[in-house]
Amino acid sequence: MSQRLPEFFDPRRPADLSKQMSGQIRLDRLSRLIEAIEGGEPMVEVQLGVECDDQRWVILSGRVRASLRLECQRCLGRVAFPVDIGFRLAVVATLAQAESLPDGLDPLLLADGEPLRLADMVEDELLLALPQVPMHEPGDCVGPLWKEDALPPTEAAHPFSVLKALKRRGD
């Protein structure tokens, strides 16, 4: 396993098939991800293997590990979000090929002769792993906007009870 990840490589080249790579990518090189998070550890760990399966699909599989910080949508404080995800991607050149992939494989659209920028693939995987609404666990919010006693009582009056009372007066 190498410790240096290439910036570009073509997983379909025979020389790149059956490769095993591992290394790190600087978080600040992932500009789309940086816009969606509040920061994190400076390095993203990547393990990557390239192989050709029995059906002649070129498969990229591996793991991405990162420690990110997101903005809690409940208290607006920072919430730690560790990421440790595995992936299995099949290199396809067309959408028709992507639709014919077997279960368990996600498509990686890569035009013929186009090299893969490894940081883009890792960034895509990390973006897909982000929660839609990041929040602390209940009771862990510490930001200035969150107070347990600010919650409405659980047995609050029904919102339409005022209308019910008005209707009774009109009868």
Spans of all domains in the chain: 8-143
Q: Is the pLDDT of residue 6 over 50?
A: yes
More confident residue, 170 or 151: 170
Identify the burial level of 66 via C-beta atoms within 10 angstroms of its C-beta, where 0-12 means exposed, 13-18 middle and 19 or more buried.
buried
pLDDT score at 2: 46
Q: What is the pTM of this model?
A: 0.77
Neighbours of 72 (CB within 10 A): 21
Q: How confident is the model at residue 153 (pLDDT cuts 50, 70, 90)?
A: low
Residue holding tokens 């790190």?
24
pLDDT score at 140: 82
**Interval 54-67: pLDDT, tens:** 888 899 999 999 99
pLDDT score at 83: 96
- Residue 80 makes CB contacts below 8 A (sequence gap 6+) with 67, 68, 69
